[in-house]
Amino acid sequence: MRHFLTLKDFSKDEILEMITLAQKIKTQTKSKKIVPYMERQTLGMIFEKSSTRTRVSFETGIYQLGGIGLFLSSNDIQLGRGEPMKDTARVISRMVDMVMIRTFEHTKLEEFAQYSKVPVINGLTDSYHPVQLMTDYLTMIEFGKDKNPVIAYIGDGNNMAHSWLMLCAKLGLELRIATPKGYECDKLIVKEALAFAKESHAKISFSNDPKIAVKDCDVVTTDTWVSMGQEEEKEVRMKAFEGYMVDEPLMSLAKDDAIFLHCLPAYREYEVSEETFEKHAEVIFTEAENRLHAQKGIMVWLEGKQNG
């Protein structure tokens, strides 16, 4: 049995297998050919944080695969009243076929997985958001940006930055990360990613200068400056991130046909200007839709591993 906790647990071939499955199922879904890959299966979806895309895409996705999703907000289940994660895992995983969790500390997700009898999918933790990165890579392929792309990540060294690091390190891509001083990526995660990068020949660099990062790149991406759980730091962060907005002057340094990706939700005139956001809306909302397709690829792949 395999879990989907971070991309570091997968080989390049496995990542590409899941992407290929996602493409196949997307084509089938678009031509109204519904294949019940997960007939009568139940996906438990535990949320300790808010969500629009993750909830709707997983719930719709499992339904389209022939199963059903259970939305379990921590406000409504005993987890929110202090029932231990390991007990929650042992109960829920005896009743459902797969679990997706969105939580805070990554160790909570790992604890759940350790006690779970069924595959567990990371729907975002403070450290990683791997389902989003599978989606972003699928979107890059669709927009012709998967052949030796140069990717620039501008902003917070957060769960999205860490996931970009792992994706690029595994697939051997070039990634330039620009963060303000004091908001760099986690040192341990960087160390792990650089070890994978050595194997895959990925080119990964870090700076505190968005202009250097974006120069002649193919893909520009960013994320909110204030992640869920950091609301109290908002004022301090807004000051620290000044000069890191992705706007037209910055985009003009990238290649003319560069795409802009954003996992959403987007905060206009903070991490991205309204003008740049709207100019790239088609890509951004295809990316949002692709959550549905990429995650179906992941779920069906995990399901396949369970049955040998």
Minimum distance of ligand NVA from residue 196's CB (angstroms): 22
Q: Does 51 bind ligand CP (CB under 6 A)?
A: yes
How many angstroms separate the Cα of 281 from the Cα of each of 47, 70, 277?
27, 31, 6
Any residues with CB less than 8 A from the CB of 151 and at least 6 apart, and which?
164, 168, 173, 174, 175, 176, 217, 218, 219, 220, 221
For residues 260-279, which are near ligand NVA according to CB under 6 A?
263
Among 42, 54, 125, 227, binds ligand CP (CB under 6 A): 54
Minimum distance of ligand CP from residue 270's CB (angstroms): 16
* C-beta of 35 vs 228, nearer to ligand CP: 228
What would the x/- binding string for ligand CP be over residues 253 to 292, using CB under 6 A? Answer: ----------xx----------------------------
Tokens of 306: 């369970």
Q: What SS3 state is found at 245?
A: coil
Distance, in Å, from the CA atom of 186 to the CA atom of 258, rounded to the nearest integer, reads 28
Among 160, 190, 251, 294, binds ligand NVA (CB under 6 A): 160
Phi, psi of 68 (to 5 degrees): -140, 145
Number of Cβ within 10 Å of residue 278's Cβ equals 12
Among 1, 34, 36, 52, binds ligand CP (CB under 6 A): 52
Q: What SS3 state is found at 121?
A: strand
Q: Which does 159 bind (CB under 5 to 8 A by kind): ligand NVA, ligand CP, none?
A: ligand NVA
Phi, psi of 45 (to 5 degrees): -120, 105
Catalytic residue annotation: 102, 129, 132, 223, 263, 291
Q: In what order do the strands lie in the sheet with 68-73?
A: 68-73, 42-47, 98-102, 120-122
Q: Does 287 bind ligand NVA (CB under 6 A)?
A: no
For residues 73-132, which are near ligand NVA according to CB under 6 A?
124, 129
- Which residues are at the interface with ligand CP (CB under 6 A)? 51-54, 124, 132, 263-264
- Which residues are at the interface with ligand NVA (CB under 6 A)? 124, 129, 158-160, 223-224, 227-228, 263
